[in-house]
Amino acid sequence: MNGEFLRDIQSIAETMDGYQKAARKTAIYPTPVVYPALGLAGETGEVCEKIKKRIRDADGDFNDPEFKKNIQKELGDVLWYIANLSADLDIKLSTIAETNLVKLYDRADRGKIGGSGNNR
Ligand SMILES: [Mg+2]
């Protein structure tokens, strides 16, 4: 990993952990882990549903401002559930992002971005 990558990671970490902390203040639910996991699945479904309907009803035009506004809200819901699910598991949002980026940059360095499998 180069220096630029490490600087990028540090700057986004503060922002992501700040978001997670703020989202945590609005997390009121009965069953930690389970509730946000189910909510994540539901909100991901809402994102997919809106995209499906855009294909069905608008020839797959994803540039409509109203569509973008609505998909932005649903992606925000997805983010909220990811932030709180990971908080329930005592995992910082920045740790998730960093682990993912390290994996992807490593694959890119090795020319393995394409293809499939979790452990390329
Ligand atoms: Mg929603």
Distance 111 CA to ligand 1 centre (A): 37
Distance 79 CA to ligand 1 centre (A): 10
Distance 46 CA to ligand 1 centre (A): 6
User: How crowded is residue 23: how many other Cβ atoms within 10 Å of its Cβ?
Assistant: 18
Give the per-residue pLDDT at 1.
58
Distance 120 CA to ligand 1 centre (A): 33
Digit-coded pLDDT (tens) for 10-60: 788 889 999 999 999 999 999 999 999 999 999 999 999 999 999 999 999
Distance 107 CA to ligand 1 centre (A): 33
Domains of the chain plus CATH, in order, are 3-109 (1.10.287.1080)
Contact between residue 104 and residue 1 where contact means Cβ atoms under 8 Å apart: no
Q: What is the 3-state secondary structure (H, E, C) of 27-52?
A: CCCCCCCHHHHHHHHHHHHHHHHHHH
Digit-coded pLDDT (tens) for 63-99: 999 999 999 999 999 999 999 999 999 999 999 998 9
More confident residue, 8 or 36: 36
Rounded alpha-carbon distances, angstroms, from residue 96 to 28, 67, 73 = 22, 28, 22
Give the per-residue pLDDT at 87.
98
Contact between residue 83 and residue 93 where contact means Cβ atoms under 8 Å apart: yes
Distance 71 CA to ligand 1 centre (A): 9
Take residue 12 and report the two structure tokens written for it: 């986004």
Give the per-residue pLDDT at 13.
82
Distance 74 CA to ligand 1 centre (A): 5
Distance 68 CA to ligand 1 centre (A): 14
